[in-house]
Structure 1
Amino acid sequence: MTDNIVWHNAAVNHRERQLRNGHQPCLLWYTGLSGSGKSTIANAVDRLLFNLGCSTYLLDGDNVRHGLNNDLGFDDTSRVENIRRITEVSRLMLDAGLIVGTAFISPFIADRAKAKALAGNAFIEVFVDTPLAICEQRDPKGLYKKVRAGEIAHFTGISSPYEAPQKPDIHVNTVELSIEQAARQVLAYLRGQGIVANN
């Protein structure tokens, strides 16, 4: 970083935004295999929070790769850079006072640790725990079929590693829970932590 770049302090501060929004900002970091249900659950939580009057935004892996990260591939180096950029965008959204959801595989523990270090206490790791066999059975985008046909390389859980969280803040078992139940589990956690009011 050059010495000529200086952080600009905004006229509206973080605390003012938090008071206007009526809730604490936080970063809900959904992680899990492709097809685990991350985006579906994250969207369901986002809807619940929005209906409660919360200021939210959801960053989805595919959506971000249409624009901000469309120059990146899927090799390990590109995946690390993908998550680094998302972490920086999330930090700006936290500063705006939002409840930010990120639905990304984010396969590496080290990358998620960096996101946590940047977001601090606002970071909430949500492990969407779905066995590989069930993810492959669901295969909502047909990706596993392409992997097995040799059309896709560097696929998490098969040809590229996935490092599951050891102590996630929220552990969602999609084998036992419906989408609605999983979303309610996340909301209950936010209420329990005082991030969202109990009303």
Structure 2
Amino acid sequence: MTRSSNVTWHEQSITKQERRERNGHHSFVVWLTGLSGSGKSTIANELAYQLYKDGVQVYVLDGDNVRHGLNGDLGFSDDDRRENIRRIGEVAKLFTDAGSVVITAFISPFKEDRSQVRELLDADEFIEVFADCPLDQCEARDPKGLYKKARNGEIKGFTGIDSPYETPDHPEVVLNSGEYNPAECAGQILHYLKERKLIKGKDS
């Protein structure tokens, strides 16, 4: 990656901590990763809705949505996938610095890329959530018809078919998204966030 030259970092007049205090909650990234069809986007939006109802400043960065604009110039080669995740990591960090909670829903198949995003953030700002759904179930769902196209050779380098997915080693949360519905999966994430006191529970 080419680095910009002749640029200087300017400190903000409002700190991240001050923004958190105004919002009344911690800021962090919930990073949903998993195969296509594992339920990431649906779970992310269900979680966002639950947090929003509780007064949390929250936004969802969805893989397809981001490729309509910010990352519209990227394809699906390994290099482009890495750049896709690098950019999303930088955007997620900005949301965190702004005192907000950001939920991302990306396949993000490579461990190294996810680790690099984690390193951008402080220790309590990156929550990796693995949507663990077996390939056969993801393929049976095939909500976008992508597995069928990959099997027919219409799509090359499709994760889970002819491109690898590297399972997280130590995710903060593992969801059995093949067995539990999106609301139940979102509830498991909420339980973790409250247990870690990243957001307030009802009795707080």
Q: Which of residues 77, 96, 107 is equivalent to 2:109?
A: 107
**2:59 is equivalent to residue 57 of structure 1:** yes
Equivalences for residues 118-129 of structure 1 within 5 A? 118-121=120-123, 122-129=125-132
Q: How does 1:6-155 map to 2 (within 5 A)?
A: 6-121=8-123, 122-155=125-158
Query: How many pairs are equivalent?
Result: 199
Match status 1:182 vs 2:185: yes
Bigger CA drift: 6-15 or 108-117? 6-15
Q: For the residues of structure 2 that align with 1:139 and 1:183, how far apart are their CA atoms? A: 21
- Structure 2: unaligned runs, 5 residues or longer: none
SS at match of 1:34: coil
Answer yes or no: is the 8 Å Cα contact 2:38–2:178 preserved in 1: no
* Structure 2 counterpart of 1:92, one-letter code: L
More displaced 10-residue stretch of structure 1: 13-22 or 2-11: 2-11
| Distance in 2 of aligned mates of 1:136 and 1:2 | 42
TM-score (norm 1): 0.98
Give the counterpart letter for 2:151 in structure 1.
R
Instruction: Give percent identity, aligned residues only.
Output: 53
CA distance in 1, matches of 2:162, 2:178: 24
Deviation of 1:3 (Å): 5.7
Structure 1 unaligned spans of 5+: none
2:169 is aligned with 1:166: yes
Question: How far apart are residue 2 of structure 1 and its match?
Answer: 5.2
- What is the CA–CA distance in structure 2 between the aligned matches of 1:107 and 1:115, rounded to whole Å? 13
Q: Which amino acid aligns with 1:55?
A: Q
Distance 1:111 1:175 in 2: 25
3-state DSSP of counterpart to 1:160: coil
